[in-house]
Structure 1
Amino acid sequence: MAAGTLYTYPENWRAFKAQIAAQYSGARLKIASNPPAFTFGQTNRSPAFLNNFPLGKVPAYQGDDGFCLFESSAIAHYLSNDALRGSTPQAAAQVLQWVSFADSEIIPPASAWVFPTLGIMQFNKQATEQAKEELKRVLAVLNQHLNTRTFLVGERIGLADITVACSLLWLYKQVLEPSFRQPYPNVTRWFVTCVNQPQFKAVLGEVKLCEKMAQFDAKKFAEMQPKKEAPAKKEKVSKEGGKQQQQPQQQEKKEKKKEDKKPAPAEEEMDECEAALAAEPKTKDPFAHLPKSSFVLDEFKRKYSNEDTLTVALPYFCDNFDREGFSIWYAEYRFPEELTMAFMSCNLITGMFQRLDKLRKNAFASVILFGANNDSCISGIWVFRGQELAFPLSDDWQIDYESYTWRKLDVDSEECKTMVKEYFAWEGEFKHVGKPFNQGKIFK
């Protein structure tokens, strides 16, 4: 029987899979999610942790015998027993099918819809609407499958049920209000059955289904961004060279202001990406040497996120783009033969964007995965401040960019205009690609 420690941060739904599996199998699992046992952003960046888990991601499992695993589905599989994994080769394959289904079909649209409501991501109207449509398709598939079944595989709860239920957890808690879930009664019946099992409750507690669809909270999102330290005020110096003394009245006013000032609200708990970014040391702005541009990138991003792309955002971009202050580049992934499952390729794109978070003020990108499993390619359009590739300006930005070929586009060419329109809108002929459109990713 497995015995070991699961490193994670509190309320990590990916870790829930392993914890619930351990409840069913009887595996002895210790949870390290709070100081001093585990501090996210510190413990997982230590040399000792990275020696066992090179990516520094959680959940991560270390057995009492020294056996180490990362990736939540692998950990949940290891902590399961044969009854959960599938007792026959056919059942085991079906379990794997639904685990993959959760990772590739549920998680990407669920994240795009739910994360903005939690303040983790900026709201993108187009991405949210697309996510809703994708989830309707996913829920319809599940609803049909469960029409004659109590559980996904076999007659008892298994790892398939645990994984898919955990993937749907935040959807049911945040956005799947009664009117949205009404067409999928079999899914809701199955989900409620799962989360009310003692083994689920021991990990999740009481799960209350959403009554009203949560919306993006701009204030909450702003509060969760890494805080910038205000520059220290310089002391005034008199002609004689000594520090200038404040007048009594000025001092009195300052003290009164300090008394009146309300304490700052406590910071919301950040997700893993934001916490890691906040812990990074401050660096000099690599774009500080460039003159001020007339093109306000943030204003374009607001229009792109909240208004129609073709009728509002794209015309704004074309009318206001500063060809002297910005450049447009086409990027294509160098190693398409290495791309396998679509969800893994999407994670490849998302991982690059997460590592480039500090570039977002001076860049915008729309990157798309084309094709299908084991036959796909990645390409996209990038907009950078300045006329050169931005990545060499900082060591922190150079991890992924050499995996792509980069070509600067002539902003006046028909090629550039067509590609900008197609990649920004996620629709078009994409004649240069030769594979069907699959899924888009936006770096804002």
Structure 2
Amino acid sequence: MAAGTLYTYPENWRAFKAQIAAQYSGARLKVATSAPAFTFGQTNRTPAFLNNFPLGKVPAYQGDDGFCLFESNAIAHYLSNDTLRGATPQAAAQVLQWVSFADSEIIPPASAWVFPTLGIMQFNKQATEQAKEDVKKFLAVLNQHLNTRTFLVGERVTLADITVVCSMLWLYKQVLEPSFRQPYPNVTRWFVTCVNQPQFKAVLGEVKLCEKMAQFDAKKFAEMQPKKETPSKKEKGGKEAGKPQEKKEKKKEEKKEEKKPDPEEEMDDCDAVLAAEPKAKDPFAHLPKSAFVMDEFKRKYSNEDTLTVAIPHFWEHFDREGYSIWYSQYKYPEELTLAFKSCNLITGMFQRLDKLRKNAFASVILFGTNNDSSISGIWVFRGQELAFTLSEDWQIDYESYDWRKLDPDSEECKTMVKEYFAWEGDFKHVGKAFNQGKIFK
């Protein structure tokens, strides 16, 4: 079984392909996205990195045995199992067909349409309109193919589904509003089915489909352009300052040439889109490293039996100093009406906490029936305090809950972890019938 490290920047859709493939195959994959393991724009320009990955691009994979790979499709293929790659020669060829289809038919028009809405590329009306037409063409092809199929190849998820979903991720998140995707119901049904598989959700979190088509924002585009230096007063002088000015200009030109990266180190357009997003400070940077690997536990939880494998693994590796366990209960049960609305309340919270998922795990359950229900759950956070206070982006919902820190060594904690993780048990502290739950991964 493959084991190694994937170097990338956060939220890189190309890297998602390898991460999802590893979720299915059980490959042991560590993802390095931040210092000290990896800093995009710095680590990938060092001689040591370029020695293994000459282009300096990410994602890049290095196995524990020293085996190195670049190019996202190759990495995803290597980390896959036979089912993902195609169990027969025919199926394998079909998987390759759709992987190539994504690169040649989906990514070019998707980039031309989406990039301007992200402020990375200047808007060109003609190019955008042509991109929209090209998107309609490949959606029509996919819609026809999926008319009688659940997945692209065979009866199970393959690398074909993983690759095409990841290639379309930004389209569905940014521009494919309901009216545009309406003629292609089979594609949207397939996309939603895929992104809601546990292995996809473990990597992507909750994927919210676009409600309104994003447009080019000239102000955002201007803000993301490199700022030009303002000439000094001396440089603005007349003929007397002419010669010194020429020397200064030559020196500036030389400096610019020195700073310009080699062609092989430059990012491609897709790298630029996500890497150009402002990098927020890691809210957990002040905490010491922990031996508890959250992703490893989540992989067990998603792919293996909860009671016999995932929970024993959790307690065997849980770091009592580096992590804490909390019980949460919604403060206003009298306001809970229809069950589906209560579920949306939970889902909305998880969506807003998406960037917390690398350092947290929760199982939150809705108990009861319409107009007589309650919401409670078990949360595991990095650190000994509630993680919500570490970032303003995480503070929208948590004050609507009562929080109680649990003692990991107590029987109460062990019982509640078992019941909430497995979604079964007496739940004596609740007193309402089990109804429905949500898992935050």
1:42 aligned partner: 42
1:99 aligned partner: 99
* C-alpha distance after superposition, 1:338-367 (max 9, x if no partner): xxxxxxxxxxxx969x99xxxxxxxxxxxx
Classify the secondary structure of the residue corresponding to 1:146.
helix
Structure 2 counterpart of 1:45, which letter? R
- Alpha-carbon distance in structure 2 between the residues aligned to 1:63 and 1:151: 30
* C-alpha distance after superposition, 1:233-281 (max 9, x if no partner): 77xxxxxxxxxxxxxxxxxxxxxxxxxxxxxxxxxxxxxxxxxxxxxx9
Classify the secondary structure of the residue corresponding to 1:58.
coil
- Alpha-carbon distance in structure 1 between the residues aligned to 2:82 and 2:34: 31
- Alpha-carbon distance in structure 1 between the residues aligned to 2:60 and 2:164: 20
2:391 aligned partner: none
2:175 aligned partner: 175
2:58 aligned partner: 58
Structure 2 counterpart of 1:174, which letter? Q
1:17 aligned partner: 17
- Alpha-carbon distance in structure 1 between the residues aligned to 2:268 and 2:198: 36
Question: Residue 135 and residue 282 in structure 1: after superposition, are their counterparts in 2 closer, same or farther (change >3 A)?
Answer: farther
- Alpha-carbon distance in structure 1 between the residues aligned to 2:129 and 2:223: 25
* C-alpha distance after superposition, 1:200-230 (max 9, x if no partner): 1111110000000000111111111223344
1:200 aligned partner: 200
Classify the secondary structure of the residue corresponding to 1:11.
coil
RMSD: 2.4
- Alpha-carbon distance in structure 2 between the residues aligned to 1:201 and 1:146: 22
- Alpha-carbon distance in structure 1 between the residues aligned to 2:95 and 2:11: 25
- Alpha-carbon distance in structure 2 between the residues aligned to 1:52 and 1:64: 14
Deviation at 1:282, TM superposition (A): 6.5
1:188 aligned partner: 188
Any residues of structure 2 matched to 1:361-376 within 5 Å, and which?
Answer: none
- Alpha-carbon distance in structure 2 between the residues aligned to 1:63 and 1:283: 42
Structure with the bigger percentage of helix: 2
2:76 aligned partner: 76
Which of 249, 253, 262 aligns to 1:283? It is: 253
* C-alpha distance after superposition, 1:118-164 (max 9, x if no partner): 11111111111000000100000000000000000000111000000
2:89 aligned partner: 89
1:418 aligned partner: none
* C-alpha distance after superposition, 1:8-67 (max 9, x if no partner): 111110000000000000011111111221111111110001001101111110111110
Deviation at 1:283, TM superposition (A): 3.5
1:4 aligns with 2:4: yes
1:131 aligned partner: 131
Classify the secondary structure of the residue corresponding to 1:283.
helix
Structure 2 counterpart of 1:156, which letter? R
2:218 aligned partner: 218
Q: How many residues align?
A: 246
Structure 2 counterpart of 1:283, which letter? E
- Alpha-carbon distance in structure 2 between the residues aligned to 1:133 and 1:55: 33
2:328 aligned partner: none
- Alpha-carbon distance in structure 2 between the residues aligned to 1:41 and 1:13: 17
1:144 aligned partner: 144
Classify the secondary structure of the residue corresponding to 2:14.
helix
Structure 2 counterpart of 1:84, which letter? L
Classify the secondary structure of the residue corresponding to 1:102.
helix
Any residues of structure 2 matched to 1:332-411 within 5 Å, and which?
Answer: none
- Alpha-carbon distance in structure 2 between the residues aligned to 1:140 and 1:91: 22
Percent identity over the alignment?
89
Question: Residue 282 and residue 64 in structure 1: after superposition, are their counterparts in 2 closer, same or farther (change >3 A)?
Answer: farther
- Alpha-carbon distance in structure 2 between the residues aligned to 1:176 and 1:204: 18
Question: Residue 282 and residue 82 in structure 1: after superposition, are their counterparts in 2 closer, same or farther (change >3 A)?
Answer: farther
* C-alpha distance after superposition, 1:303-326 (max 9, x if no partner): xxxxxxxxxxxxxxxxxxxxxxxx
Classify the secondary structure of the residue corresponding to 1:30.
strand
Structure 2 counterpart of 1:171, which letter? L
Question: Residue 50 and residue 285 in structure 1: after superposition, are their counterparts in 2 closer, same or farther (change >3 A)?
Answer: closer
* C-alpha distance after superposition, 1:179-216 (max 9, x if no partner): 00000000000000000011111111100000000001
* C-alpha distance after superposition, 1:81-124 (max 9, x if no partner): 00100000000000000000000000000000001101111111
Question: Residue 183 and residue 282 in structure 1: after superposition, are their counterparts in 2 closer, same or farther (change >3 A)?
Answer: farther
Classify the secondary structure of the residue corresponding to 2:192.
helix
Classify the secondary structure of the residue corresponding to 2:6.
strand
Structure 1 counterpart of 2:133, which letter? E
Question: Residue 118 and residue 351 in structure 1: after superposition, are their counterparts in 2 closer, same or farther (change >3 A)?
Answer: closer
Classify the secondary structure of the residue corresponding to 1:62.
strand
- Alpha-carbon distance in structure 2 between the residues aligned to 1:173 and 1:351: 21
TM-score by length of 1: 0.53
- Alpha-carbon distance in structure 2 between the residues aligned to 1:39 and 1:71: 19
Structure 1 counterpart of 2:253, which letter? T
1:300 aligned partner: none
